[in-house]
Amino acid sequence: MDDGGNSGSKAGPKRLRLALRGFVALTATAVVTITGAGWYASASLDKGFVRADVIDKNDAATLGGDLNILLIGLDTRKDLDGNDLPQAILDQLHAGDSDVGGYNANSLILVHIPKDMKHIVAFSIPRDDYVPVTGIPGYDHAKIKEAYGLKKAAVEQQLIDQGMTDPVELEHRGRDAGRASIVQTVRALTGVPINRFAEVSLAGFYDLANVLGGVDVCLRNPVDDSEYSGAVFPAGRQHLNASQALSFVRQRHGLPDGDLDRTHRQQAFLVSVAQQLKKSGTLTNIGELQGLMDAAHRDIVLSQDWNLLDFVSTLGKAQSPSVEFRTLPVLRYDVINDQDVNIIDPDAIKREVRTAFGMDPGPAAPTTGASATGSPDVDADTQSTDGSGGTVTAPTTSGDVAPPNSGGPLTTGIDGDIPCVN
């Protein structure tokens, strides 16, 4: 199968455009929101989900019928009440015990669905992008994936200091604060309103793939990451079971572009799930659909006031929406506080996202200098709090340059093909 791109170690990702119909388009861009697609007549679609009040009401009112949906994959080994996942599940996840992972938002995808349903755009946000954060004591910058867990920990400590002792209540309140923090952080980074939110747990990826009977993937090269993710696969197209699929989307060690390659794998996973749903008949089989819904209710959190029944019914009536996956660009890699981070140009990101979403891109780029900490022309003497009581010098251009066109889309075939990735 033609992989549509070069397999060189620094080859930039290419274009990914899929013409998918109805609920298949929905699946490819937002797996966590389509678990009841096809079950249009059943009000049970909206029941059973944990809901989070994380959307700014002003944002919800400013998009004129368009939807901007933030999807996050939460890297935790605990359930929604903070209990450890059963050991049998942890063994399948190949992700360590319940003390590993914390509460990082390791998958971040911002999806734009226009009112006319003609062209859906989904931006993956690399988890190590170094961004400003607010409302977290001791931090003014962090990796974007940490905005959730840092805020959760800070709020829980405040509640403990106030006398709260119920561990379940602490977990719920802390997670809601984390969700609000990641929404606010992504909104500030991209410069676009967000009016829908969905969170899926690490186990959710596994459960989804398990209900589907596995997923098809395509690798440009063989991989052996038995020490970390458990990903040990040959090159080429292959069918993975649920445990293998999770290893596939988690691997970053041993890949040419590390986390950026993992981001492209997550996109390929969504494409494969879309096609698997289309081929399997899951959405028209009440028994299989019920299993999918049970998993969704166990693993997914949605924003308040999101009527999924109306949402999937509307998308199901769309004639032929095209879907485009993209990745936010990275300027270069650097090390801050002994952590590998991605240095980005926030102004350029805002212009790119707003343009892709059909919004006014804002003012043109400055001819000299840059507007955000971490951009190439920042004064090296600028200091920012690193969260540990010390300070860290704002990064200069000493870090490795990111691969060319790291923000561009992947290449794949149309409806029936899946993208080959590193």
Q: What is the pLDDT of residue 251?
A: 87
- Average confidence score pLDDT of the chain: 76
Q: What is the pLDDT of residue 11?
A: 37
Is 155 part of a structural domain of the chain? no
- Higher pLDDT: 273 or 175? It is 175
% of the chain beyond a pLDDT of 70:
69
pLDDT of residue 406 exceeding 50, the answer is: yes
pLDDT of residue 196 exceeding 70, the answer is: yes
Q: What is the DSSP letter of 395?
A: P
Secondary structure element (H or E) that encloses residue 202, with its range: helix 202-211
Q: What is the DSSP letter of 407?
A: T
Is 382 part of a structural domain of the chain? yes
- Higher pLDDT: 250 or 68? It is 68
Confidence bin at 366 (pLDDT 50/70/90): low
Is 164 part of a structural domain of the chain? no
Instruction: Give me the CATH number covering residue 388.
Output: 3.40.630.190
Give the pLDDT mean for 180-186.
97
Contact (Cβ atoms closer than 8 angstroms) between residue 373 and residue 384: yes
Confidence bin at 317 (pLDDT 50/70/90): low
- Higher pLDDT: 121 or 376? It is 121
Contact (Cβ atoms closer than 8 angstroms) between residue 194 and residue 183: yes
pLDDT of residue 3 exceeding 80, the answer is: no
Q: End-to-end CA distance of the chain, in Å?
A: 15
Per 3-state DSSP, the chain is made up of helix, strand and coil in percentages (nearest 5) of: 35, 20, 45
Give the pLDDT mean for 137-165.
96
Is 172 part of a structural domain of the chain? no
Query: In which domain, by residue range, is 316 found?
Result: 16-131+181-421
Which residues does 188 contact at the CB level (< 8 Å), separation at least 6?
A: 131, 132, 134
Which residues does 86 contact at the CB level (< 8 Å), separation at least 6?
A: none
Is 174 part of a structural domain of the chain? no
pLDDT of residue 102 exceeding 90, the answer is: no
Residue 227 three-state SS: coil
Per-residue pLDDT tens over the stretch 203-228: 788 888 888 888 899 999 999 998 88
Per-residue pLDDT tens over the stretch 320-338: 667 888 999 999 999 998 8
- Higher pLDDT: 276 or 110? It is 110
Confidence bin at 145 (pLDDT 50/70/90): very high
Confidence bin at 362 (pLDDT 50/70/90): confident
- Higher pLDDT: 17 or 280? It is 280
- Higher pLDDT: 64 or 30? It is 64
Is 350 part of a structural domain of the chain? yes
pLDDT of residue 308 exceeding 70, the answer is: yes
Is 242 part of a structural domain of the chain? yes
Per-residue pLDDT tens over the stretch 380-399: 333 333 333 333 333 344 45
CA distances to 176, 267, 351 from 142, rounded to whole Å, are 19, 24, 22
Give the pLDDT mean for 91-103.
62
Is 340 part of a structural domain of the chain? yes
Give the pLDDT mean for 355-364.
85
Tally of structural domains, the chain: 1
> DSSP strand E in 99-205: where?
104-113, 119-124, 130-132, 141-143, 196-201
> DSSP strand E in 283-362: where?
300-303, 322-327, 332-336, 339-343
